[in-house]
């Protein structure tokens, strides 16, 4: 998430009421999660296990809960609670904007696009040409939709990321300030849920088709011309490359990559990254040919035991 204008390190420190290490005029351009940070971004870290990863990342400003040696060319914001202060920044730069009409006056809707009754189009949404938005679809603020997109009834684009920090009093939510981006010629079935990024984009690329009742988690990227069948659950920060086929009731863990033209058979648990161009099945996931051989061998166990007796 980029800020509307460049801020100085001192300005951000004053906003958070925290100390800083580095030139007070050090430029701050935005904020992001560690897997998508760029120079000029703030990244937060609040556990020693991840200090090095954050300090050596592309981010040039690190919001951290301990004074450490500052890498050359970077700056630090010293906070007693980086998680809380990251939320403070999101609230400040991307505050929730109340809506009291079904289609916001700030939404941009292209020529030939049809929006069926009882749908909600939020603030600063952009919808391209010749789209069909069926009834009872909710499109949250800042969502971007390309041309020739079909979205079926009951689908929700832009709900918050499922991202929490456990505290003694309960769970504290990391506020989502990102977007959902749907490219041209995408089809989305009924009752799908696609969460926005925490600070970046959840993206569905051109030509992908998604069946009913599919969930896509925050900051995930689904490539071009993918097919995703019903009741699939894709976790946050997953990368699905081009022309992947995922059959029904597949679930994934977060932060993995599914290679281009892979086929994931139904009811598979994608527990790790997998190469493209192969077929996979089972939980934990394996190449389908090997997994089916194993299942065939398991069926022979009673026969083998009887022979041993």
- Are 248 and 268 contacting, i.e. CB atoms less than 8 angstroms apart? no
Token digits for 97? Answer: 């904007």
Token digits for 176? Answer: 């989502």
- Partners of 78 in the beta sheet? 19, 64
Token digits for 208? Answer: 């992908």
Identify the three-state secondary structure at position 284. Answer: coil
Reply yes or no on whether 218 is catalytic: yes
- Partners of 66 in the beta sheet? none
- Are 103 and 115 contacting, i.e. CB atoms less than 8 angstroms apart? yes
CA distances from 111 to 3, 106, 116, 126, 158 (A): 30, 16, 15, 12, 23
Residue where the block lists tokens 């505290």: 167
- Partners of 194 in the beta sheet? 157, 216
Antiparallel, parallel or unpaired: β 61-64 and 75-78: parallel
Antiparallel, parallel or unpaired: β 19-21 and 75-78: antiparallel
Q: Rounded distance, CA 152 to CA 188, Å?
A: 6
Find the length of the chain. 309
CA dihedral 265, 271, 275, 278 (to 10 degrees): -20
Q: Which residues does the annotation mark as catalytic?
A: 218
């Amino acid at each position: 998430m980029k800020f509307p204008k460049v801020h100085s390190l001192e300005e951000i420190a004053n906003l958070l009421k925290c100390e800083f290490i580095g030139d007070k005029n050090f430029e701050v351009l935005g904020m992001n999660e560690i897997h998508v940070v760029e120079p000029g971004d703030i990244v937060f870290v609040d556990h020693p296990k991840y200090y090095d990863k954050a300090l050596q990342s592309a981010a040039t400003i690190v919001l951290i809960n301990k004074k450490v040696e500052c890498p050359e060319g970077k700056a630090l914001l010293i906070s007693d609670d980086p998680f809380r202060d990251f939320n403070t920044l999101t609230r400040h730069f991307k505050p929730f904007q109340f809506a009291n009409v079904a289609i916001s006056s700030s939404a941009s809707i292209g020529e030939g696009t049809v929006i069926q009754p009882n749908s909600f189009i939020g603030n600063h949404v952009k919808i391209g040409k010749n789209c069909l938005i069926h009834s009872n679809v909710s499109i949250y603020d800042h969502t971007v939709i390309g041309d020739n997109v079909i979205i079926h009834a009951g689908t929700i684009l832009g709900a918050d990321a499922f991202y929490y920090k456990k505290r003694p009093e309960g769970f504290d939510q990391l506020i989502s300030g990102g977007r959902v981006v749907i490219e041209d010629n995408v089809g989305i079935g009924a009752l799908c849920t696609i969460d926005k990024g925490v600070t970046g984009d959840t993206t569905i690329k051109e030509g992908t088709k998604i069946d009913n009742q599919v969930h896509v988690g925050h900051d995930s990227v689904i490539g071009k011309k993918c097919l995703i069948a019903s009741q699939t659950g894709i976790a946050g920060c997953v990368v699905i490359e081009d022309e992947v086929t995922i059959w029904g009731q597949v679930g994934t863990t977060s932060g993995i990559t599914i290679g281009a033209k892979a086929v994931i058979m139904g009811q598979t648990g994608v527990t790790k990254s997998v190469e493209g161009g192969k077929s996979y099945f089972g939980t934990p996931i394996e190449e389908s040919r090997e997994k089916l051989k194993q299942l065939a061998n398991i069926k022979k166990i009673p026969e083998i035991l009887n022979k041993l007796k």
